[in-house]
Amino acid sequence: MLTSMNKEDNPFLFGALALDDAFADREREIDELVSDMRNGQDVVVFAPRRYGKSSLIWAATRTLAKEGLLVAQVDLMTTPTKERLAAALASAIYEHIASPLERVREKATAPFRRLRLQPAMSLDPQTGAVGFSFAAAREPADIDATIEQLLELPAELGADRGRRVALVFDEFQEIVEIDPRLPCLLRAIFQRQPQVAHVYLGSKRHVMKRIFNNQNEPFWRSVKPMELNLIPAEEFSRFLVERLEATGRGSDPGAIARLLVLTGGHPHATQELAYFLWEQTPEGATASEEQVTAALDAVLRVEHSHFTLLWEGLAKVQRLVLQALAREPGHPQTKTYRDRHGLPSAASVQKALRALGEREVVVGERGAYRIVEPFLAEWLTARAGIEP
C-alpha cells in the first residue's frame, strides 16, 4: 500500500536506491531473500546492471532488521587494497553487529583490539561514529590473518549473544582484483559458518558468473543463485498508475503501454522514463502517448553524454554489431543476420559480442542477443546515420 506523498514531489526515482514505495514489484524476490538470510543461506544475486540489486537487498534487510537480524554490508568497490578491505570490514561489523550487541563502546570495540594488526580507531566528534584504518602490513601474512579474524567475527559475535547475522558484499567481483587468493580464504571461513548468511552482489555479471559457476573456482556450487529478470508489464503498469494517481495525475492506458514497450520492463529505464513523463504531466492532467514521446526525448538528452562516451570507446566491429542489435535483437552470428546487417565474419562478430558482454552493454542467451539499456537502442536508432 502506498504511503501518503507530497503531490508536488516526483514519485519516480532513478540513479539512486529505490526505497520503500519507490521500489517496484519484486515482492517474490524480497520474500525469498528474506527467508534465505533468515535461515543462514548463502545467496548470489545475478542480474545485469541497473536491475535493482542494491534496492532489493535494502528492502530485505529492512524487513529482517525488524526481526532482530543484524546485517553488515561492505562495498568492495571502495576497497582496492587488503588494508582498505580490512578497514571496511571492521567498520561495517562494528557499526551493524558489535554496536547493537554492546551498548558500551569499550565492549563493542574490544574484539577489534585482539586483531593481528591493530587498527587505528578514530571517533567522529559530530556523529560519534568509530572509524577504522590499517597501516600497510610489513608482512603479507599479517594482513591476511587480520582479514581472516574479521571474517570470523560476525559468527562469533552472533553466537555469543544468540543473534542471527548476515554479511553482504556489494561489487563482489572486485575481490579478485584485491587479491586473487581471497576467494579461497573467504570460502574456507564461510563454509564453517552455517549460522551466518552471506549475500553476494556484483555489477559485472560475467565475472560473477565465473566466480560462482566455474567448477575450478572455490565458490562453485557453494551458494544459492538468484536471478533478477525484467519486471512483468502487468506489475509495472499497476505501479506506474498508482504513483501517478497518488500525485494527482491520471494516465491513459495507451501511454502506460507505450512506456513499457519502450523500456521492456527494465527497472531503471522504466523509473527514468516515468520520472520525465511525470514532469511532462501537470497536476490534474492525464499522461498521454504524446507526453511519453516528449519524456523519451528528455531522457535521450540526459543520456546523450553517457552514450556518446560509450560509443567513442568501442571498436568499429563492436559499433556495427551494436547498431544491428538496435535495429533487430536476435542472432548476430548467423549468416542470414550478418548478411542482412552487413556484418563481418562470425569470428569477428563473436569477438565483438564478447567484448560488449564484458562491458555489460549486451546480454545473450542461447545465441540471441539484445542491448541491455533500452535507451541506448533508442539513441542509436535516432542517430542511424552516425559513422560506425
Could you give the CA distance from residue 69 to residue 199 in angstroms, rounded to a whole number? 14
Residues 53 and 169 in one domain: yes
pLDDT in tens, 43-95: 999 887 778 888 889 889 989 999 999 999 999 999 999 999 999 999 999 99
Mean pLDDT, the chain, whole residue set: 90
Q: Which of 308, 328, 360 is where one domain is finished?
A: 308
- Predicted TM-score (pTM) of the model is 0.81
Q: Is residue 137 part of a domain?
A: yes
Residues 94 and 175 in one domain: yes
Q: Which of 171, 194, 227 is where one domain is finished?
A: 227
Cβ proximity of 55 and 82 under 8 Å:
no
What's the confidence (pLDDT) of residue 5?
57
Residue 103: pLDDT over 80: no
pLDDT band, very low/low/confident/very high, at 204 (cuts 50, 70, 90): confident
Residues 99 and 46 in one domain: yes
What's the confidence (pLDDT) of residue 385?
58
Cβ proximity of 87 and 182 under 8 Å:
no
Would you state the cell numbers that stand for residue 105, as one nine-digit string? 563502546
pLDDT in tens, 274-323: 999 999 999 999 999 999 999 999 999 999 999 999 999 999 999 999 99
What's the confidence (pLDDT) of residue 129?
82
Residue 183: pLDDT over 60: yes
pLDDT band, very low/low/confident/very high, at 354 (cuts 50, 70, 90): very high
Reduce the secondary structure of the chain to three states and give it as a string: CCCCCCCCCCCCCCCCCCCHHHCCCCHHHHHHHHHHHHCCCCEEEECCCCCCHHHHHHHHHHHHHHCCCEEEEEEHHHCCCHHHHHHHHHHHHHHHHHHHHCCCHHHHHHHHHHCCCCCEEEECCCCCCEEEECCCCCCHHHHHHHHHHHHHHHHHHHHHHCCCEEEEEECHHHHHHHCCCHHHHHHHHHCCCCCEEEEEECCCHHHHHHHHHCCCCCCCCCCEEEECCCCCHHHHHHHHHHHHHHCCCEECHHHHHHHHHHHCCCHHHHHHHHHHHHHHCCCCCEECHHHHHHHHHHHHHHHHHHHHHHHHCCCHHHHHHHHHHHHCCECCCCHHHHHHHCCCCHHHHHHHHHHHHHCCCEEEECCEEEECCHHHHHHHHHCCCCCC
Neighbours of 342 (CB within 10 A): 10
For the ranges 103-107, 127-131, 290-294, the maximum mean pLDDT occurs at 290-294
Residues 301 and 355 in one domain: no
36 residue type, one letter: D
Could you give the CA distance from residue 211 to residue 209 in angstroms, rounded to a whole number? 6
Residues 356-364, mean pLDDT to the nearest whole number:
91
Residues 40 and 185 in one domain: yes
Number of compact structural domains in the chain:
3
Domain that holds residue 322: 313-382
In CATH, what number is assigned to the domain containing residue 352?
1.10.10.10
In CATH, what number is assigned to the domain containing residue 85?
3.40.50.300
What's the confidence (pLDDT) of residue 228?
85
What's the confidence (pLDDT) of residue 15?
67
Residues 266-275, mean pLDDT to the nearest whole number:
93
Cβ proximity of 263 and 372 under 8 Å:
no
For residues 232 and 154, the model is more confident at: 154
What's the confidence (pLDDT) of residue 352?
97
Cβ proximity of 94 and 156 under 8 Å:
no
Residues 325 and 188 in one domain: no
Could you give the CA distance from residue 31 to residue 253 in angstroms, rounded to a whole number? 30
Residues 254-274, mean pLDDT to the nearest whole number:
93
What's the confidence (pLDDT) of residue 351?
97
Residue 6: pLDDT over 70: no
- Kindly tell me the burial class for residue 283, based on how many C-beta atoms sit within 10 Å of its own C-beta (0-12, 13-18, 19 or more): exposed
What's the confidence (pLDDT) of residue 25?
60
pLDDT band, very low/low/confident/very high, at 20 (cuts 50, 70, 90): very low
Q: Which of 273, 308, 343 is where one domain is finished?
A: 308
Q: Is residue 17 part of a domain?
A: no
What's the confidence (pLDDT) of residue 384?
64
Could you give the CA distance from residue 25 to residue 229 in angstroms, rounded to a whole number? 12
Q: Is residue 118 part of a domain?
A: yes
Residues 326-336, mean pLDDT to the nearest whole number:
95
Residues 234-255, mean pLDDT to the nearest whole number:
93
Cβ proximity of 204 and 77 under 8 Å:
no
Could you give the CA distance from residue 372 to residue 247 in angstroms, rounded to a whole number? 31
What's the confidence (pLDDT) of residue 326?
95
